[in-house]
Amino acid sequence: MFKRHPLNPLITTHSFNPSRPDFEIVGTFNAGATTYNGEVLLLVRVAERPVQTDPDVVLCPYLEDDGELILKPFSRADERYDTSDSRLVVDRHTGATLLTSISHIRLARSQDGVHFQGEHQPWLSPTPPYENFGAEDARVTQIDDIYYVNYSAVSAHGISTALASTTDFKTANRLGIIFPPANRDMTLFPQRINGQYVAYHRPMPSGFGRLNIWIATSPDLVHWGEHQIVMQASNDGWDSGRIGGGAPPVWTEKGWLSIYHAADHQNRYCLGAFLTPLDEPGRIIAHSPKPILTPEAPYETNGFFSNVVFTCGSILQGDLLRVYYGASDQVMALAEASVNDVLASLEPVS
Amino acid sequence: MFKRHPLNPLITTHSFNPSRPDFEIVGTFNAGATTYNGEVLLLVRVAERPVQTDPDVVLCPYLEDDGELILKPFSRADERYDTSDSRLVVDRHTGATLLTSISHIRLARSQDGVHFQGEHQPWLSPTPPYENFGAEDARVTQIDDIYYVNYSAVSAHGISTALASTTDFKTANRLGIIFPPANRDMTLFPQRINGQYVAYHRPMPSGFGRLNIWIATSPDLVHWGEHQIVMQASNDGWDSGRIGGGAPPVWTEKGWLSIYHAADHQNRYCLGAFLTPLDEPGRIIAHSPKPILTPEAPYETNGFFSNVVFTCGSILQGDLLRVYYGASDQVMALAEASVNDVLASLEPVS
């Protein structure tokens, strides 16, 4: 049903310049998508790390609370720290963790939705005290004339969902933490429903609880409540490890169509789809029993974190649903389908 | 500074009758406190378990989503399940967990704040789908003529913070999940500040992040936002494991006084205190460098879960601050101090 674009991957680590001369880009992925002034805009997560000059030392980028970005060196020979995972450095005594990369949000623009031009400067740079490890996985939703961008704010305080707004894609107006840790994968509906703003989100419980999709409402986009479970991970199969929101819901005559992600216990990330009534966004009436996209192409099965397809945004043009997705936590790709074919493929949920 | 009441513990497992003839009460603790119609009311967490008739079988109470309370038997000889922790049964394959007890909220009434009469029926019974494992740790805050009761909703979906309201302490009007999992230890301020309702809460991050006290605001008590860190666990000592809200903040001329709980890495729970300006509840200006109450009395050092003092409510009568607290997750006790002595003992925070 979904066809990968022949020019995939559309965006790679070479599509942008690093934000600092001593940094290198390791990933350009998990981009929010929207149209603005006749262009397709992707809000790309750009993950960078310090250029490593000494193979015996790991340099961790860290944003201090005063706003200074410092590079903390850790000797691989120092037994106080575990440097075996290339993504992190862990203090063996306290468990405190630093990341080896830091992400910001960068714009890429396109006339045709296929050929993208990366901007030279970050659009949203991580800011203390809730983004000291980075700003990740932006999703964008247009409501009236305002574009709302939610993203993961990652710091030693946890992974939270933060919100910003823009009308020009030049400045970002930060609206703060709207879902406290641990929470990510928020997808905001493009209109009020029954008088309220509505979003899916994905709490990450500790102790009891699994990684499921919840819904919440808001009178003002800043304050959220009426939290309820919408969809649960299954007991086995492709969606047994975790599920979470993907692209913000798309309006169709049949109802709200959501493309979401699901992973199994081997951390293989696929995409699925579900449908809710237009006036009942918390009630799933149809879903995809099998994934609608699985990691198969080389850029999906082999990368920074392999076997991942993960969407943060789609664009509907007539009958054409264009799903932009991150592949193996490294590059951006595009898969396209007829939205009516997608809707027809869904199976009713009793 | 704080003096334990000579009649402690004021409430024990014998203060109430079980809610069912086949249940026994294992804990009466962590009670919210308020005054109503000239009486002191405690909203006690009553933990019950099925009377165990066969020593080789563990019976787990579980509320089905259809509302039926069933008793699931697990043979201690069945190697599929880990029954070594008396509080839980864990499926060794899936990690799924059931509790061996289930909690509800019960009222106890007193004329003098010391001699309490337990009610015969639950005031708030756990209700599916977010309380299948129980309703725990109620805290009550009076705002105008309405009493708001927040509590921990515990189910396989995680530990969430739920809100209810009452005007008569007969019926409870449920307002749903206001902080999604994992979250507990909410303490609601007794008045709007700068036009907004305000509460502390305690997210439990998974992965990054520690167990710290956050603040949030709300226009309507149902929708919450503007989440910010207020106080962090320390790196070592009595408050290095976790901290969380205790009694709802008390108005004093010097500012909002909060009694909170803190535990070290050995899960020894103490009480501390901090102060904020009346118009800036997110900014701590003074705090207790040492605990104001530590587990020392026999009922605090030895019980269902030993070495715990944990408050969910206090009552200020003139200069007398009465802190009601759960001791060793089993009984309710009272400690009293001059509020001016407590305020004078706090050290300024720069």
Task: State whether B208 and A157 contact (CB < 8 Å).
Answer: yes
Q: Residue B40's beta-bridge partner residues? A: B35, B110
pLDDT at B310 over 80: yes
> What is the tens place of the pLDDT at every residue in A300-324?
999 999 999 999 999 999 999 999 9
For residue B206, what is the nearest residue in chain A, using CA coordinates?
A: A206
Q: Are A230 and B231 in contact (CB under 8 A)?
A: no
pLDDT tier at B85, thresholds 50, 70, 90:
confident
Distance CA B159, CA B177 (A): 10
Residue A180 has a CB neighbour count (10 Å cut-off) of 29
Distance CA A81, CA A257 (A): 45
Query: With contacts defined as CB-CB under 8 Å, which chain B residues touch A94?
Result: 235
Query: Tell me, what's the pLDDT at B53?
Result: 87
Q: How many domains does chain A have?
A: 1
Distance CA B89, CA B151 (A): 24
Residue B160 has a CB neighbour count (10 Å cut-off) of 26
Task: State whether A223 and B217 contact (CB < 8 Å).
Answer: yes
Query: With contacts defined as CB-CB under 8 Å, which chain A residues touch B176?
Result: 225-228
Query: Tell me, what's the pLDDT at B206?
Result: 84
How would you classify the pairing of strands B134-143 and B146-155? antiparallel
The strand ranges marked E within B167-254 are 173-179, 183-188, 197-203, 213-218, 225-231, 242-245, 250-252
Distance CA B235, CA B215 (A): 21
> What is the tens place of the pLDDT at every residue in A2-33?
999 999 999 999 999 999 999 999 999 999 99
Distance CA A223, CA B217 (A): 8
Query: With contacts defined as CB-CB under 8 Å, which chain B residues touch A179?
Result: 180, 227
Query: Helix or strand or coil: residue B340?
Result: helix
| pLDDT: which is higher, A104 or B85 | A104
Task: State whether A156 and B210 contact (CB < 8 Å).
Answer: yes
pLDDT tier at A350, thresholds 50, 70, 90:
confident
Query: Tell me, what's the pLDDT at A17?
Result: 97
Query: Helix or strand or coil: residue A178?
Result: strand
Task: State whether B182 and A183 contact (CB < 8 Å).
Answer: no
Task: State whether B182 and A160 contact (CB < 8 Å).
Answer: no
Task: State whether B223 and A223 contact (CB < 8 Å).
Answer: yes
DSSP A279: T
pLDDT at A127 over 90: yes
pLDDT at B95 over 90: no
User: What CATH number has the domain bearing residue A174?
Assistant: 2.115.10.20
Show Cβ contacts of residue A278 under 8 Å, excluding neighbours closer than 6 positions.
Answer: A193, A251, A255, A256
pLDDT tier at B87, thresholds 50, 70, 90:
confident
SS (H, E, C) B134-170: EEEEEEEEEECCEEEEEEEEEECCEEEEEEEEECCCC
Q: How far is A152 from chain B (nearest CA, A)?
A: 13
Query: Tell me, what's the pLDDT at B86?
Result: 81
Show Cβ contacts of residue A331 under 8 Å, excluding neighbours closer than 6 positions.
Answer: A9, A10, A11, A12, A13, A27, A28, A29, A299, A303
**What's the mean pLDDT in B320-347?**
98
Q: How far is B328 from chain A (nearest CA, A)?
A: 21
Alpha helices in chain A (DSSP H): 298-301, 339-345
Mean pLDDT score across all residues of chain B:
96
Distance CA A255, CA A198 (A): 15
Name which of B65, B184, B223 to mutate to probe chain A: the one with the most chain A Cβ atoms within 10 A of its Cβ. Answer: B223
pLDDT at A125 over 90: yes
Distance CA A78, CA A85 (A): 15
Query: With contacts defined as CB-CB under 8 Å, which chain B residues touch A225?
Result: 176-178, 218, 220, 222-224
Q: How far is A43 from chain B (nearest CA, A)?
A: 24
Amino acid identity for residue B127 in this structure: T
> What is the tens place of the pLDDT at every residue in A93-124?
878 889 999 999 999 999 999 999 999 999 99
**What's the mean pLDDT in B334-342?**
98
Task: State whether B229 and A157 contact (CB < 8 Å).
Answer: yes
Query: With contacts defined as CB-CB under 8 Å, which chain B residues touch A218?
Result: 223, 225
Chain B residues with a Cβ under 8 Å from any Cβ in chain A:
94, 97, 129, 133, 154-160, 176-183, 201, 203-210, 212, 214, 216-220, 222-229, 235
Q: In percent, how much of chain A has pLDDT > 90?
A: 93
Phi, psi dihedrals of residue A248, rounded to the nearest 5°: -55, 145
Distance CA A137, CA A248 (A): 12
**What's the mean pLDDT in B139-155?**
97
**What's the mean pLDDT in B108-123?**
97
| pLDDT: which is higher, B208 or B153 | B153
Structure tokens at A31: 């981009």
Query: With contacts defined as CB-CB under 8 Å, which chain B residues touch A219?
Result: 219-220, 223
Task: State whether A223 and B227 contact (CB < 8 Å).
Answer: no
Query: With contacts defined as CB-CB under 8 Å, which chain A residues touch B177?
Result: 225-228
Structure tokens at A317: 């043009």
Chain A residues with a Cβ under 8 Å from any Cβ in chain B:
94, 97, 129, 133, 154-160, 176-183, 201, 203-210, 212, 214, 216-220, 222-229, 235
Query: Helix or strand or coil: residue A81?
Result: strand
DSSP B59: E
> What is the tens place of the pLDDT at every residue in B25-71?
999 999 999 999 999 999 999 999 999 889 999 999 999 999 999 99
> What is the tens place of the pLDDT at every residue in B179-237?
999 999 999 999 999 999 999 999 999 878 899 999 999 999 999 999 999 999 998 89
Query: Tell me, what's the pLDDT at B209?
Result: 86
End-to-end CA distance of chain A: 24
pTM here? 0.96
Residue B205: which of A158, A216, A229 has the nearest Cβ?
A: A158
| Least confident interval from A152-166, B72-86, B115-129, B162-176 | B72-86
Structure tokens at B243: 């901290």
Structure tokens at A349: 């949920």
Q: Are B27 and B46 in contact (CB under 8 A)?
A: yes
Q: Are B41 and B315 in contact (CB under 8 A)?
A: no
Task: State whether B224 and A223 contact (CB < 8 Å).
Answer: yes
**What's the mean pLDDT in A138-156?**
97
Amino acid identity for residue B114 in this structure: V
Question: Smallest Cα–Cα separation from B153: which of B189, B180, B171, B172?
Answer: B180
Distance CA A34, CA B307 (A): 55
pLDDT at A207 over 80: no
Residue A227: which of B180, B225, B235 has the nearest Cβ?
A: B180
The length of chain B in residues reads 350
Name which of A133, A154, A157 to mutate to probe chain B: the one with the most chain B Cβ atoms within 10 A of its Cβ. Answer: A157
pLDDT at B170 over 90: yes
Residue A132 has a CB neighbour count (10 Å cut-off) of 23
Q: Are B301 and B9 in contact (CB under 8 A)?
A: no
Q: CA dihedral in degrees (A65, A71, A75, A80; nearest 10)?
A: 10
Interchain CB contacts (distance < 8 Å): A and B: 147
**What's the mean pLDDT in A169-191?**
97
Distance CA A189, CA A320 (A): 20
Distance CA B223, CA A227 (A): 9
Phi, psi dihedrals of residue B163, rounded to the nearest 5°: -125, 140
Distance CA A47, CA A136 (A): 9
Whether the complex's predicted ipTM is more than 0.90 is answered with: yes
Structure tokens at B180: 């999604």
Query: Helix or strand or coil: residue A26?
Result: strand
Expressed as residue numbers, the domain containing A273 is 3-348
Residue A180: which of B133, B218, B227 has the nearest Cβ?
A: B227
| CA torsion through residues B139, A213, A127, A80, sign | positive
Residue B39 class from Cβ within 10 Å (0-12 exposed, 13-18 middle, 19+ buried)? Answer: middle
DSSP A33: E
Task: State whether B158 and A207 contact (CB < 8 Å).
Answer: yes
Q: How far is A87 from chain B (nearest CA, A)?
A: 14
Distance CA B299, CA B218 (A): 38
For residue A232, what is the nearest residue in chain B, using CA coordinates?
A: B157
Q: Residue A240's beta-bridge partner residues? A: none
pLDDT tier at A53, thresholds 50, 70, 90:
confident
Question: Smallest Cα–Cα separation from A83: which of A178, A72, A191, B252?
Answer: A72
Tell me how far the alpha carbon of residue B308 is from its chain's centroid: 12
Query: With contacts defined as CB-CB under 8 Å, which chain B residues touch A220?
Result: 219, 223, 225
Query: Tell me, what's the pLDDT at B235?
Result: 87
Residue A106 has a CB neighbour count (10 Å cut-off) of 27
Residue B181: which of A209, A218, A224 has the nearest Cβ?
A: A209
Task: State whether A129 and B235 contact (CB < 8 Å).
Answer: no
Query: With contacts defined as CB-CB under 8 Å, which chain B residues touch A132?
Result: none
Residue A17 has a CB neighbour count (10 Å cut-off) of 15
Query: With contacts defined as CB-CB under 8 Å, which chain B residues touch A103?
Result: none
Query: With contacts defined as CB-CB under 8 Å, which chain B residues touch A222?
Result: 225-226
Q: How far is A17 from chain B (nearest CA, A)?
A: 29
Considering only CA atoms, give the Rg of chain A: 19
pLDDT tier at A86, thresholds 50, 70, 90:
confident
Query: With contacts defined as CB-CB under 8 Å, which chain A residues touch B228?
Result: 176-177
